[in-house]
Structure 1
Amino acid sequence: MKHDQAVELLREALPQLQQSFAHLPTRDFEEPSTDAMRSVLAEITGRLADNYPYFHPLYAGQMLKPPHPIARAAYALAMWLNPNNHALDGGRASSHLEVEAVREIAAMFGWTEYLGHLTSGGTFANLEALWVAGELAPGKKIVASENAHYTHNRISAVLRLPFASIAADARGRMDLSALQAALQSGEVETVVVTLGTTSSGAVDPLDRILDLRQRYGFRIHVDAAYGGYFKLVSNLAEDAAQAFSHIHEADSIVVDPHKHGLQPYGCGCILFRDPSVGRLYKHDSPYTYFTSSELHLGEISLECSRAGAAATALWATQRLLPLRPDGEFANGLACGLKATLRIYERLRKDKRFLTGPEPELDILVFAVKACTLQESSRLATAVFDHAAAEDLHLALAQIPISYFGENAWPDAPAGSKVTCLRSVLMKPEHLDWVDEIWKRLSHAASKAMKAADE
């Protein structure tokens, strides 16, 4: 889609919104100088050029996906009013849009009864999930895979809840034997299950963790901030598909619409299967709740002010692209996974590279083959630099060497990590750019290795 689509859509819609308030008296205060604002915008345009081209398919480094044009236009349109979804007084229309948008996300996971709302992002959404877990079982331990997002450890510390990291297996998933050993202590109340780690896209075996819950009794929080929307995708490998098929059995779920949901930052979502946890949030405010007897979103959120524009953009996107397994939105996710698997197969057959397990989502991690760990890490950095010089933007990551097999670097100490290359192919357009991406990556690798030999 053209980048000016959002501007054109906004240009058409804004006069209609302004007409809704045309009956009000005209403002008589002095407007800022257009020339002065134009000068500031010209300056900031130059400053913003100091960025990677996050919107382009040749940017395949971090988890950055451009918002859909309808999301940009709807967000900007709502910003003309700047609603606050903390209370109905501050965001009358956008609060209702949030309720409707969250209802569709919950339905994607198979829930019709739930408690949920949008947040400023996955970090705060996960904080609310662990806060509720702590309120239900004060002082009990939280556990998560060592490959889970680092915020779970940090959030537990903020909440003064004990936290333990559970070892991961060679595929980057939570190790069930290690989890069972932790559960036997009787101290664990909440297990964080990650469906889509941000390091390698690994999917924890939720279905098998649920079996452990029947035996030991604990709360399951699913952190699907990155991978949640893959619930709609039909081309997942068997293990990942099995895990996602059981997501409705979790006690709470986090998903980030600003990752795969085509939304601007920040837009996260927290859902609880048991609506009665809303009692934990209950509070009274002397000034925000006085014009309606309906539930205010601010009464079920730890955050106060929240952008109504985010809810508006999400609602508009989901109205255009419904969250259906056979829909256009789901097909876009499937395209990213196809692109990832195609490049993975090329890497696997190329003697210059070293691959780990087949990707479960659209994150691809690979190393450069070398005799020593240090040389492999150095070459990965060189490939990263040469690729960037050719406008192919990847990322570097520190990954345990066990991910690449026992014999990758036999002389390296156990538990060592290697600097490797990481690519996130989350844009639907990446599927059409596989050949171009591979051409530039291969050329960058040849340059790096030639320079190493000189």
Structure 2
Amino acid sequence: MSDRLFQLLNDAQHRLDAGFSHLPPNPAPPLDEAASAILHQVADRLQDNYPYAHPLYAGQMLKPPHPIARAAYALAMSVNPNNHALDGGRASSSMEVEAVSALAKMFHLPQHLGHLSSGGTFANLEALWVAGQLTPGKAIAASDQAHYTHSRISSVLGLPFHAVPSDASGRMGLAALEHLLETSNIGTVVVTLGTTAIGSVDPLDQILLLQQRYNFRIHVDAAYGGYFTLAANLTPETRAAFDAIPHADSIVIDPHKHGLQPYGCGSILFRDPAVGRLYKHDSPYTYFSSKDLHLGEISLECSRAGASAVALWATQQLLPYVPGGAFAQGLESSHTAALELYRRLAQSNHFFTPSHPPQLDIVFWAAKAPTPEASSALAQAIFDEAATRDLHLALAKLSTRFFPHDTWKDLSRSNQETTVTCLRSVLMKPEHLLWLDQLWQRLQAAAEKVTVNTPLEPT
């Protein structure tokens, strides 16, 4: 944190403390020299990390929380509220209701029931638990590019799971989905708006048309990509999927991904508030301080950090979810950066690019080599060399069908599909667009060094 932010936090802490100044003094345990030494050890240990907050880190989905989120979270931790019940977090529970309402408004939901969670996994669990209660015994279907948590959750819930083959762009295949729906065994279809591997966006608008012909629930897993509903520079195809969100039965979005929040902060929203009846339960001791509906009555998860709600609420006040606003412009910058990186990769002599440009802000590409095996080995070498230049990428094992049919000649002749280890970047920091030249120069230099004496064209 900057000195200025420390000062702002210190001032706010004094203001918070003043609200309890009428109580008898109860000083906190002192932090002495021993504590100082331990904190210095912590600082040293934490240096054993990639520089996640820096623009040269362009690997996994790690976006630094906004300074106001960090400060608000730290401020709330002096109270350490628990948002499971009003007894444990009156102010933070109220702020959570407001923060969740802002998410629902962003998705244009006319009404909703929802709350924050510890992350997308638990939020998805809750959505599929509700789906299982409403369509008992029926299967869950999701794209083969959907997050692996859905198959795990289905197993935990004792529900059958079916993976739907995706197309060459990584989107759920509609013909394959309809074939499954014809069995009448599918109770819920999980539609992913922003897969975590390649950022693909399933065609929600078209899946809604199938829902008119077949009886099933639609759950939107927008844990990663949901905030892109605010972006004005999406393709018409991608825009249509996001515009259809208000018609889904449930939605998951993770503020700790693109929402500039500390981990863990997920969220679940239901279009029909009547699903709240499924949560009905009794507690012998927790809920006597208020007759108002509390968040523990509409959540599977019990104890939850009220500080997460405070941090999200504060961030929303500074950066509201409005089209064309500063928050939306940051998402647009990330998408623009991904498209520009894709364009440069396509013109490079060192790389193969997939058939389709990025739908959001995730870019993947293969090292140019005669076979997928050679390409995979070269990608690993480039990954390692880039890291020595302080450029941190990611590796992903992906299907060769995401690339043009003739990318690897042996595969095109045999019509064979296999996997190839690709290089991958998540350009989720708005400043990635400003740093793109730096990223590109380091990537090119790494590729040039490791491809010495390596054929540049497939044979």
Pick the TM interval, shorter chain.
over 0.9
Match of 2:88 in 1: 90
Amino acid paired to 1:302: L
- The correspondence for 1:172, drawn from 165, 170, 173, is 170
Distance 1:4 1:370 in 2: 50
- The 3-state SS of whatever aligns with 1:432 is coil
The match for 1:191 among 189, 192, 197 is: 189
Cα deviation, 1:22-71, whole Å, max 9, x if unaligned, reads 1111126x824421211110111100000000000000000110000100
9-18 or 248-257, which deviates more: 9-18
Structure 2 counterpart of 1:11: 10
Please state whether the residue corresponding to 1:222 is helix, strand or coil. strand
The one-letter amino acid paired with 2:442 is R
1:384 maps onto 2:386 in alignment = no
Identity %: 62
1:408 maps to 407
Q: How does 1:269-280 map to 2 (within 5 A)?
A: 269-280=267-278
1:406 CA displacement: 1.4
Of 443, 446, 452, the residue aligned with 1:444 is 446
Q: Relative to 1, partners in 2 of residues 1:130 and 1:6: Cα closer, same or farther, differing over 3 Å? A: farther
SS of the residue aligned with 1:341?
Answer: helix
Partner of 2:161: 163
Q: Report SS of the residue matched to 1:265.
A: coil
Q: Which residue of 1 aligns with 2:435?
A: 433
One-letter code aligned to 2:343:
E
Q: Take 1:39 and 1:451, find their aligned partners in 2: how far apart are those partners?
A: 51
Report the alpha carbon displacement of residue 452 of structure 1 after superposing the two structures with TM: 4.7
Aligned-partner Cα distance in 2 for 1:331–1:57: 17
Tell me the distance in 2 between the aligned counterparts of 1:401 and 1:349. 20
**In 1, Cα distance between the equivalents of 2:154 and 2:404?**
32
Q: Secondary structure at the match of 1:220?
A: strand
Using the TM superposition, give the Cα deviation of residue 142 of structure 1 relative to its aligned residue in structure 2, in angstroms. 0.3
Asked if 1:257 corresponds to 2:255, the answer is yes
**2:300 aligned residue:** 302
- 1:451–1:294 Cα change, 3 Å: farther
| Alpha carbons of structure 1 residues 202 and 370: separation in structure 2 relative to 1, 3 Å | same
Q: Where in structure 2 are the equivalents of 1:57-136 lying within 5 Å?
A: 57-136=55-134
Q: CA deviation at 1:4?
A: 4.6
CA distance in 1, matches of 2:446, 2:231: 33
Instruction: Specify which of 209, 219, 222 is matched with residue 221 of structure 1.
Output: 219
Alignment partner, residue 421 of structure 2: 419
Q: Name the structure 1 match of 2:394.
A: 395
Q: Which amino acid aligns with 1:327?
A: G
Question: What residue is the counterpart of 1:347 in the other structure?
Answer: 345
Please report the TM-score for the alignment, with normalisation by the length of structure 1. Answer: 0.98
Task: Write out the 4+ residue segments of structure 1 that deviate beyond 6 Å after TM superposition.
Answer: none
Question: What residue in structure 1 maps to residue 147 of structure 2?
Answer: 149
Q: Are residues 1:25 and 2:24 paired?
A: yes
Tell me the distance in 1 between the aligned counterparts of 2:23 and 2:37.
31
Q: Is the 8 A contact 1:173 1:205 kept in 2?
A: yes
DSSP 3-state at the match of 2:434: helix
Q: Alignment length, in residue pairs? A: 451
Tell me the distance in 2 between the aligned counterparts of 1:97 and 1:395: 36
**Structure 1 residues 16 and 258: alpha-carbon distance in aligned structure 2, compared to 1, 3 A threshold:** same
The one-letter amino acid paired with 2:135 is A
Are 1:181 and 2:179 counterparts? yes
2:390 aligns to what SS in structure 1? coil
- Does residue 207 of the first structure (1) align with residue 205 of the second (2)? yes
Partner of 1:139: 137
Which amino acid counterpart does residue 252 of structure 1 have in structure 2?
S
Q: Give the Cα–Cα distance (whole angstroms) in 1 for the partners of residues 368 and 5 of structure 2.
A: 44
Contact 1:145 1:173 in 2 (8 A): yes
Partner SS state of residue 58, structure 2: coil
Q: Which amino acid aligns with 2:157?
A: L
Q: Distance in 2 between matches of 1:171 and 1:77?
A: 44
Aligned with 1:303: secondary structure?
Answer: coil
**Partner Cα distance (1:27, 1:427) in 2:** 42
SS at match of 2:62: coil
How far apart in 2 are the matches of 1:47 and 1:324? 40
Deviations 1:361-410 (A, max 9, x none): 00001011110111100110011011100000000000100001211223
Inter-partner Cα distance in structure 2 for 1:71 and 1:63: 18
Q: Distance in 2 between matches of 1:351 and 1:139?
A: 52
Question: In structure 2, what is the Cα distance between the partners aligned to 1:340 and 1:117?
Answer: 32
Q: 1:163 to 1:5 in 2, by over 3 A?
A: farther
Question: 1 CA distance for matches of 2:221 and 2:122?
Answer: 12
Q: Is the 8 A contact 1:5 1:69 kept in 2?
A: no
How far did residue 112 of structure 1 move? 3.1
Amino acid at match of 2:295: L
Say which SS state the counterpart of residue 10 (structure 1) adopts.
helix
State the alpha-carbon separation in 1 of the partners of residues 29 and 114 from structure 2. 40
Task: Give me the whole-angstrom Cα distance separating, in 1, the residues matched to 2:193 and 2:326.
Answer: 22
> What's the Cα RMSD here?
1.2
Give ranges in structure 2 of 5+ residues lacking alignment.
none
Within 1, Cα distance between the matches of 2:3 and 2:49? 19
Amino acid across the alignment from 1:69 = P
Report the Cα distance in structure 2 between the residues aligned to 1:260 and 1:106, rounded to whole angstroms. Answer: 16
SS in 1 for 2:284: coil
1:415 partner amino acid: E
CA-CA distance at 1:411 after TM superposition: 2.2
Cα distance in 2, alignment partners of residues 451 and 125 from structure 1: 50
Call closer, same or farther: CA 1:142–1:343 in 2, change over 3 Å: same
Deviation at 1:328, TM superposition (A): 0.5
